[in-house]
Amino acid sequence: MKTMTEEIHNPLEAISRISQKINTLHDIDPLLKSILHIAMEVMGSERGFILMLDENQELKLRIAQNMTEEQAADLSQISQSVLHQVMEKGEPIICFDALADDRFQGAQSIRIQRIQSIMAVPLTMKTRPIGAIYLDSVERRAGFQAETLPFITAFAHQAAIAIENAQLYAALQEENRHLKKQIQGTFSAKEIIGRSNAMKKVYALMESIIESDITVLISGESGTGKELVARALHYNGPRKEKPFMALFCGALPENLLESELFGHKKAAFTGATSDKKGLFEVADGGSFFLDEIGDLSPKIQTELLRVIQEGEIKRVGETHVRHVDVRIIAATNKNIEELVSTGQFREDLYYRLNVIKIHLPPLREREGDIPLLAHFFLDKYAAKSKKPVKGFSPEAIEFLTRYHWPGNIRELENTIERAVLLTRDVFIQQENLQLPNCEVKLPEKMSLKDFEKQVAQKALAENENNISKTAEQLGVSRRWLHYRLKEWQDEEDQ
């Protein structure tokens, strides 16, 4: 340890050292250790400790140096009143002869170790005390002098800022962890509702690729959950701590999309006022969800191919390449094979993207999932709107399962959200669903007779009640059709 006389000539050094720590040490314990260490070194003290106020406004020993915990506890006990006084006044005190000082008479350590000099310095944030530094020495150290008080006050002020920063940083980290967990919770595979065979196949496929970096292409009609699956792949996989970026490629013109994805150099084009990172760079280490790749221009397709093949990007206006490590998850609700065959989509890119394809079935093909999803959304929106809605009337649930859902799960979700708002009952009624009556798909369970009747009536309507044409379309004889029509008519007349 340097002597105090060496150091005291340059007290500013201590302040500048603690300022440095503000920027470099974000964790509270190493920071406190460092504050204590610098204070002892500069004051020429052999020992010291730091006490901090806890949430109950009690002073708690946080760190000690060159003394046992018992010694620190003994000293902090005895000097509590002194320390409280120091903190209340916001001013440090120095005691040159502790053995003779009334304030420390009870402390065994002071007698046993013959401590001469004691310094107590408050740690104050703005006007609020947050703790105190205690230093002592067995000699009458020159550092423990009235002249050093302004310096040690300035030092303690800097130290308090560093401590507050570290505490803020810890709180932010905690919040970040919490938010990340929330997002992960929302999109974990458990949140993908559905037990149909079609969805079980999707889960099995997801399971098999979740640990890998393999490129995935997710296809499916609008609202089938493509983004949900993409997020689940990211947040359940090894990249979950890194960013998940999603970009809807269809919404932006080519040049904007290019600079958005790959970044640009300052002055690369009018309006490029500074260098800008592209989203691929932002997503480095994480996953990138390219939504609606069917809309990508040939130029962007070529650049995307380079990202997938070489892990390289070039910012617009730059000539050198940068490396990125990004897992690509792409989605489309277009028939991409058709775009390949008409030359609108690069075949080589298609093969690169389509290493694994997850097809999400439309809701009307997910037998049995509709009631499950309907109840899931009901719970969600009942809780959100704080309405005591408990379920669906049998007619409402029957209607939901028969509707053909052109907008898939998004449409179902919107329907339930609206119904929860509209209903005045604890059970949602059919009229609360506000769905068009005509668009009803065939029910799962129906007799062959009813099935025949529905098919025949649909064909008749399409053929403007022309029996010959209808019979031809259905592959039955005119006689059969006449016979059936009469039978159905008789039933209705009864």
Ligand X SMILES: Nc1ncnc2c1ncn2[C@@H]1O[C@H](COP(=O)(O)OP(=O)(O)OP(=O)(O)O)[C@@H](O)[C@H]1O
Binding site for ligand X (CB under 6 A): 192-194, 220, 222-228, 333, 373, 409-410, 413
Nearer to ligand X, 231 or 264 (CB): 231
Closest alpha carbon to 429 in 402, 403, 388, 400: 400
C-beta nearest to Mg ion: residue: 227
Backbone φ and ψ for 30, nearest 5 degrees, come out as: -60, -30
Residue 309 touches which of Mg ion, ligand X, none (Cβ within 5-8 Å per kind):
none
Q: Which amino acid is at 166?
A: A
Interface with Mg ion includes 221 (CB under 5 A)? no
What's the gap between Cα 190 and its chain centre? 16
CB of 240 to ligand X, least distance (A): 18
**Binding partner selected for residue 420 from Mg ion, ligand X, none, CB under the kind-specific 5 to 8 Å limit:** none
Structure tokens at 395: 């007619």
What backbone phi and psi angles, to 5 degrees, belong to 27? -95, 140
> Chain-centre distance of CA 295, in angstroms?
28
Select 108 or 222, whichever has its Cβ closest to ligand X: 222
CB of 435 to ligand X, least distance (A): 17
Give 137 or 415: the residue with its C-beta nearer to ligand X.
415
Interface with Mg ion in residues 237-276 (CB under 5 A): none
Give the chain's length.
Answer: 494
Question: CA 460, 461, 465 angle in degrees (round to 5)?
Answer: 50
**Cα(286)–Cα(437) distance, rounded to whole angstroms?**
45
Distance CA 274, CA 93 (A): 53
Q: Which does 10 bind (CB under 5 to 8 A by kind): ligand X, Mg ion, none?
A: none
As measured in angstroms, the least distance from the Cβ of 19 to ligand X is 48
Q: With respect to Mg ion, which residue has the nearer C-beta, 331 or 374?
A: 331
Taking the complex as a whole, the smallest distance from the CB of residue 385 to Mg ion amounts, in Å, to: 25
Number of helices (H), then strands (E), belonging to the chain: the values are: 21, 16
Q: Please, what is the minimum distance in Å from the beta carbon of residue 331 to Mg ion?
A: 6
* Shortest Å, Cβ 223 to Mg ion: 8
Residues 229, 206 contacting (CB under 8 angstroms): yes
Dist CA 120 CA 50 (whole Å): 10
Residue 213 or 227 with smaller CB distance to Mg ion = 227
Amino acid at 6: E
Residue 290's H or E segment, with its range, is strand 287-291
Site stretch for Mg ion (CB under 5 A), options 169-177, 200-208, 220-228, 302-310? 220-228
Strands 59-65 and 216-220: unpaired
Phi/psi at 150 (5° precision): -60, -40
Q: In whole angstroms, give the CA distance from residue 301 to residue 183.
A: 31
**Could you tell which of ligand X, Mg ion, none binds residue 228, using a CB distance below 5 to 8 A set by kind?**
ligand X
- Is beta strand 117-125 parallel, antiparallel or unpaired with respect to 59-65? unpaired
The span of 34-42, 189-197, 221-229, 443-451 binding Mg ion (CB under 5 A) equals 221-229
Report, in Å, the least distance between residue 409 CB and ligand X. Answer: 4
Judged by CB, which is closer to ligand X: 28, or 293? 293
For residue 292, state whether it binds Mg ion (rule: CB under 5 A). Answer: no
252 binds, among Mg ion, ligand X, none (CB under 5 to 8 A by kind): none
Q: How would you classify the pairing of strands 128-137 and 117-125?
A: antiparallel
Sequence-ordered strand ranges (E) for 339-481: 356-360, 391-392, 427-428
Query: Which listed residue (139, 164, 221, 227) binds Mg ion by CB under 5 A?
Result: 227
Nearest distance, CB of residue 350 and ligand X, angstroms: 19
Q: Smallest distance from the beta carbon of 289 to Mg ion, in angstroms?
A: 9
Binding partner selected for residue 418 from Mg ion, ligand X, none, CB under the kind-specific 5 to 8 Å limit: none
The residue at minimum Cβ distance from ligand X is 225
Q: Which residues bind Mg ion (CB under 5 A)?
A: 227
